Chains A and B, each alone.
Chain A
């Protein structure tokens, strides 16, 4: 068993790499492709004035709601300093997505003609059960006929995730609008024409009402454009006239009903209005924010917007992969020409790193939404060089030691110690660079830094756990030892010659 000492890490790394790769393949995890590779819309918004963190977070929440409203898959909305980065992959109607993001949406007050509450539970099951059917009924969203049993309040089941069309959102006449909660349809409202817009409001806040419940208190502007207009429609609703038979007034943003409070009084004073209901602190504040700002709590300036067509994205991915493959073959040929079997080991080391990297990227893509971008792919291609550098440093050290008269066997361990010290120094320098780039930069540079850092760390791991034992193993093989050229190593110098040489060497003789 003593012979096997020192090889444990080899077994561990090979088993670990193979099993995580197997897990990734079985679990069906795949790297999440960035926008530049799969096509989509990416927008960077910058607040016009200095704002605090809470405001940015509020804005992000609102932007998320709005993007959900146009129904795209998994928008990624993140903060970068005070900037907001919005990434929407694979969206079809790119232009509208672009227009909607960051644009000040109009808040509307509309009388409710009829409403149908929907049990979100039954709705989910139907949606997931037959997604094809829901897409085909999308056109039915415009109908004003309410037939709760068949069309679920006149709305397609997936309206909260699929979204409404621009026409539906901008319609000012009668319409059927959804109320959504966490992407589920919870209510359907047939609403009348727009009676009042958000510009009638002065401000709004959420506070605890007299009963200990959260309430939202809007304050209207004075005059007929403000409280006057509100009282006009409130009066209609209070008396449950034909224009407002339900007595409810819907607050609508981006074609979605945020809330539809019942009107309990004939007329109101501008600053003494309370919207109560089953609000939590969170929902009350959200509604107050929506009322206050219409759409966003702060004005944003679109710093960068990028729309990548799916074709160009695919082409870039394709070209990146082919280029990576060609580069890989080229270095494989070079390494094997130079270092023969040891070169092959170096390529296998790349294989182990690739298995680990693929699994990590896939896992992060599935769990943390980390997307692989073109910059990331470049980082990975660059890291091929970083990884092989370690092998070159070790192998050259080995050759040098053997040239100096050491036996191949004794050289493997000793060379590794000094070579690994060099590798650690160099890799740590790279890691410091990658970490700093990741912390201090924005946008594409971050993605690049992340993948470069990740592959450098993997290189450190595999250099120690794989390269060290596998070279040791090779130099224990009698078949290889008798043919050192197969290892790309020089022949061992016989002990006599080495002795003679050192005797002849003046530097060893002359002593001060």
Chain B
């Protein structure tokens, strides 16, 4: 049975308990890098946040040096000049008078051999970007509170807390990526960061819903620790997570590659980079951040603590998920509880890998539970 085939049936046998430890290391590393970079390098803020004037003109064949020479004549020799996209020249200078702005516009039009009407420019007061950011942060705080309340009602507070920590993790890493690579932060980027919240929450809710469905497994049978059950749930929703991420990512990557890369629409780039980073972080965090935090919170609950301790006292390996998945899935006649030795755990993955019996781990719900629609 190929790995992909098992993935397709939600029968993968990944020991997420082990991977969470690696995930923890990765997340901590990324967050430390993000915070470190934010503190030392800071963010490359666009003029929307600092105030200033920015011109953009499509000027095929004109070089940065030519532009600088031309702008020297109107006192903008020290302006930041970039070629963005394929042939768009972007000039950014400090705040100035409207008359001066127009003078520069005319100079650029001459340089690009075009009409001044074909030049885009924007002037921004220093407080504008601050207003945008402040209102975004305010929205963010309200969003956190609202989601916390909503998820507490619909799911439970532990899941809500875990989901929010995951979201916070995503935003921190995404902002960190902007700092490390010194991408320019624009209002578009702020929008994209806000979208990341939505994605991350969406993914986490899908996973949490599955965990809740499986919670009975732990509560009723007492044969799995909460962590093992969560790992099992992860395996079951893995394809779902991958597919939702792929279908979300494809349009965004198209935006980045086709829109911004090939067609040179720089404004699209602002959104697309942040969205791509955030989507990947969101998919990762719902599995590697939200879930382990949930497990950690849950295993402090007396109910699940008792189960865990009982299993431990029976000599069952609670540190790995594969042992229990194996235990549930084996088709050998002997009830697995008779063979709780460590060897079962060691050979666990291999045993399942070779068995040809498709093993739905959860029994079908009893008929009587079927609701009439």
Contacts and interface: CB of A to CB of B under 8 A. Distances in A.
A506 B249 contact: no
A414 B124 CA distance: 55
A190 interface: no
Nearest to B190: A445
B258 interface: yes
B10 A403 contact: yes
Interface in B151-188: 151, 154-155, 187-188
Interface string B181-222: 000000110111011011101100110010001000000011
A413 B265 CA distance: 45
B98 A389 contact: no
Interface residues of A, number: 99
A316 B272 CA distance: 13
Contacts of B264: 315, 319
Most chain B CB within 10 A, of A99, A306, A401, is at A306
Contacts of B136: 441, 445
B198 A331 contact: no
Interface in A422-459: 422, 425-426, 428-430, 432-434, 436-437, 439-445, 448-449, 452
Given A385-B248, A510-B337, A430 B202 contact: yes
A335 B244 CA distance: 10
A421 interface: yes
Contact of A506 (B56, B202, B336, B357): B336
Contacts of B209: 418, 421-422, 425
B147 A448 contact: no
B267 A393 contact: no
Given A375-B188, A430-B198, A432-B150, A319 B265 contact: yes
Interface string B244-276: 101111111111001110011101100100010
B337 to A, nearest CB: 6
Interface stretch (A10-18, A90-98, A162-170): A90-98
A474 interface: no
B268 A426 contact: no
Given A386-B248, A388-B247, A509-B335, A305 B122 contact: yes
B83 interface: no
Interface in B323-373: 327-328, 330-331, 333, 335-337, 357-360, 362-364, 370-371, 373
A490 B275 contact: no
Contact of B10 (A92, A319, A396, A452): A396
B9 A399 contact: yes
B139 A322 contact: no
Contacts of A505: 328, 363
B58 interface: yes
A400 B98 contact: no
Of listed B132, B151, B251, B373, residue having the most chain A CB within 10 A: B251
Nearest to B331: A504
B358 A396 contact: no
Given A320-B259, A389-B244, A404 B363 contact: yes
Contact of A385 (B10, B251, B267, B359): B251
Contacts of A439: 139
Contact of A307 (B122, B213, B267): B122
Contacts of B190: 445
Contact of A452 (B188, B195, B249, B371): B195
A390 to B, nearest CB: 9
B135 interface: yes
A328 interface: yes
B341 to A, nearest CB: 16
Contacts of A444: 187-188, 191
Interface string B113-157: 000111111111101100110011011001100110011001100
A61 interface: no
B98 A437 contact: no
Given A310-B117, A426-B202, A510-B335, A331 B247 contact: yes
Interface stretch (A197-205, A286-294, A296-304): A296-304
A132 interface: no
B183 to A, nearest CB: 16
Contacts of B320: none
A456 B99 CA distance: 45
A311 B118 contact: yes
Contacts of A452: 195, 198
A302 B125 contact: yes
B103 to A, nearest CB: 11
A185 interface: no
B120 A307 contact: yes
A358 interface: no
A393 B244 contact: yes
B139 A437 contact: yes
Interface in A29-68: 36, 39, 44, 46
Nearest to A388: B247
A324 interface: yes
A347 B68 CA distance: 50
A384 interface: yes
B102 interface: yes
B243 interface: yes
Contact of A382 (B57, B124, B251, B373): B251
Interface string A469-512: 00000000000000000000010010000100110111111101
B358 A417 contact: no
A94 B116 CA distance: 10
Contacts of B222: 512
B50 interface: no
B290 interface: no
Interface string B12-49: 00000000000000000000000000000000000010
B237 interface: yes
Contacts of A328: 251
A445 B132 contact: yes
A502 B337 CA distance: 17
A406 B123 CA distance: 63
Given A44-B128, A381-B251, A400 B150 contact: no
Residue among B8, B146, B194, B198 with the highest chain A CB neighbour number at 10 A: B198
Leading 3 A-B pairs by shortest Cβ distance: A385-B248, A327-B251, A323-B259
25 contacts: A302-B123, A303-B125, A304-B128, A308-B120, A312-B120, A323-B254, A323-B255, A324-B254, A327-B250, A330-B250, A338-B243, A378-B188, A378-B271, A378-B275, A381-B254, A388-B248, A392-B243, A425-B155, A429-B201, A432-B143, A506-B336, A510-B221, A510-B223, A510-B335, A510-B337
